[in-house]
Structure 1
Amino acid sequence: MNFHQLHIFYTVAERGSFSAAAQALHMSQPAVTMQIQALEEHFGTKLLNRSTKRIELSEAGRILLPYARKILELSRETDAAMAAFSNMLLGRLQLGASLTIGEYVLPRLLGPFGRAYPDISIMLKVMNTSQILEEIAGHQLNFGLIEAPVEHPDMVLEPVMEDELKLIVPSGHPLAERPDPIELSEVLTYPFVLREKGSGTRKVMEDVLIERGIDPGAIRTVMELGSTGAVKSAVEEGLGITMLSTSTVKHETALGLVKMIDIADASFKRNFYAIQLRSALLPMSATTFLTYLKEQRQ
């Protein structure tokens, strides 16, 4: 059995046609057809039904497909493990990330990764979750990093990093002068500046409140803003307090512009998730990068 032929078979099955597979593999269509025929001769059975415009798997092909996937994944994992010793990993990594991850979390991680793997080029798009899903489905991104879990029939989620929201108040605020932690009931008596509804950060905060039997609508919201930077600026100006990821306010905290406060009776922890097509095999560069992200949790 030829490993290269299994790779071609998997790509044809994923893409749904010989022409699309040939384009993805940078091969001619006759060469793809010839390798599939050789694999079918090896097993002595048809793997693909070619009677329709879109290629369909035969019963034997459906049985072979998960085995082919496992073999290819194991090969990529092996290459990634060995690349850690040689630092000779090559490739182009295309990923999308939601706002908090893309603007505040990844920048500090990309430097060390780039020094460890200088021959991997990274193209990062910062966009909302729906845009990330759309570009993954269109094979424009290898995978995405998002702040809240979503359900999609063609995609799979995996937690890769941990994050925590903290209460953020401006310097000089009454709560900034108090020894923390502060009770949640007292925190909710103050006016809030929040991200817009539907943002991952706001959803985490509201989910925790609901779990504690508190209606998020009861929060005294004086302003809703569409970016974390705008929220931070409003808090600095004393317009209200907020809940933000600790990774987004390190600079402002160091300068003494705001203070992070622990809440005594509530924890606002969450995971960041990698999302990818269920049927797709990640390139080795992507597998290595995700492994690197998971290692940061340890």
Structure 2
Amino acid sequence: MALNFHQLHIFYTVAEKGSFSAAAQALHMTQPAVTMQVQSLEDYFGTKLLLRSTKRIELTEAGKVLMPYAQKSIELIKNTDQAMATFTQQLKGKLLLGSSLTIGEYILPRLLGPFGQEYPHITISMKVINTTQIMEEILNHQLNFGLIEAPVNHPDMHMEPVMNDELKLVVPKGHPLAGRDNVSMEEALNYPFVLREQGSGTRIVMEEQLRMQNIDPSRMKIVMELGSTGAVKSAVEAGFGISVISSSAVKHEVALGLIHVVPLSDMVFKRHFYSIYLKSSLLPISAVTFLSFLRERDLRQWL
């Protein structure tokens, strides 16, 4: 019997989760199948790797020695997939991903065309939902991975930056700040704001940057809080207030002269977009290929 990577992956997940049932759920397998694979690995090495108790699984001394090698094997497979993604033009498969609102509505639609031309046999199915929903569906194995606008902390999730973005101050046509070469944030605070709702990625990044510049976000005269970037744009265009939103989201309105981007002289709202997926799962090669496309291409040519 040869050493099996699949068994190493299962062993590592059981040890990480602390139980066969939790590992089975994370791996989308039955508990007996997980148990059988671990037993086969123990038979291969001729020693017990896990101590089974009523409370929690514990590693034997042999299991403790094996753990870092199992982890390295998983990382090696991930790195191998990433390295080979460049050569997978004939790859076939369906990619299920979730995207938060700004990314899904304004960023990815401009990138899916070029990606589809390069990888015509990969079919992408995208859900535009909020970050909480994305995480829930990944945990339930309904999505391969997600793209979100602000970092999150979850013990079962791997997160890494894949794209950059910048938020800009935007004002309606005819506004006193329209046409200015630049304006300070202090001056902008004299005008009413229309913002995304509390907890949105855009709002979190903006408020964190304000605090870093010793500006209390509560000083903003907020007249509306809206649940989508599209609604914010419409409110700004109608003259209800000014806003801070992704520059990628207002290209059309700026081109038509309906909204103006005003450079800030004293502040830059830069941020990352992040990919998230389960630590216990290996992404399909189609997902690795798509993430490599986002990380390695000069996306500005399409955005």
- TM-score, normalization: structure 2? 0.84
Deviation of the 1:269 alpha carbon:
0.7
* Partner of residue 128, structure 1: 130
RMSD: 3.0
Deviation of the 1:113 alpha carbon:
1.6
* Aligned-residue identity in percent: 60
* Partner of residue 202, structure 1: 203
Deviation of the 1:12 alpha carbon:
5.5
Partners of 2:6 and 2:276 in 1: CA distance: 22
Choose which of 112, 117, 124 in structure 1 pairs with 2:119: 117
Q: Sort the Cα spacing of 1:89 and 1:11 in 2 relative to 1 into closer, same or farther, 3 A.
A: farther
* Partner of residue 286, structure 1: 287
Partners of 1:22 and 1:297 in 2: CA distance: 38
Deviation of the 1:155 alpha carbon:
2.0
* Partner of residue 151, structure 1: 153
* Partner of residue 219, structure 1: 220
Question: Are 1:137 and 2:136 counterparts?
Answer: no
* Partner of residue 2, structure 2: 2
Give the match's secondary structure for 2:265. coil
* Partner of residue 184, structure 1: 185
Task: Give the stretch that moved more between structures: 96-105 or 150-159.
Answer: 150-159
Task: Give the stretch that moved more between structures: 277-286 or 127-136.
Answer: 277-286
Partners of 1:63 and 1:138 in 2: CA distance: 31
Q: Deviations over 1:49-97 (max 9, x none)?
A: 5666987654433432442343244234334433523512233322211
Q: Deviations over 1:174-224 (max 9, x none)?
A: 21132x221222111111111111211112111122222222111111211
Q: Sort the Cα spacing of 1:249 and 1:33 in 2 relative to 1 into closer, same or farther, 3 A.
A: same
Partners of 2:61 and 2:106 in 1: CA distance: 48
Structure 2, unmatched stretches of 5+, are none
Choose which of 135, 158, 177 in structure 2 pairs with 1:175: 177
Q: Sort the Cα spacing of 1:156 and 1:38 in 2 relative to 1 into closer, same or farther, 3 A.
A: closer
Partners of 2:71 and 2:201 in 1: CA distance: 32
Choose which of 70, 86, 99 in structure 1 pairs with 2:101: 99
Q: Deviations over 1:241-292 (max 9, x none)?
A: 1110011111111122111111001111111111222333222222222111
Q: Sort the Cα spacing of 1:62 and 1:277 in 2 relative to 1 into closer, same or farther, 3 A.
A: farther
* Partner of residue 271, structure 1: 272
* Partner of residue 40, structure 1: 42
Deviation of the 1:160 alpha carbon:
1.2
- Counterparts of 1:57-68 in structure 2, within 5 Å, are 57-68=59-70
- TM-score, normalization: structure 1? 0.86
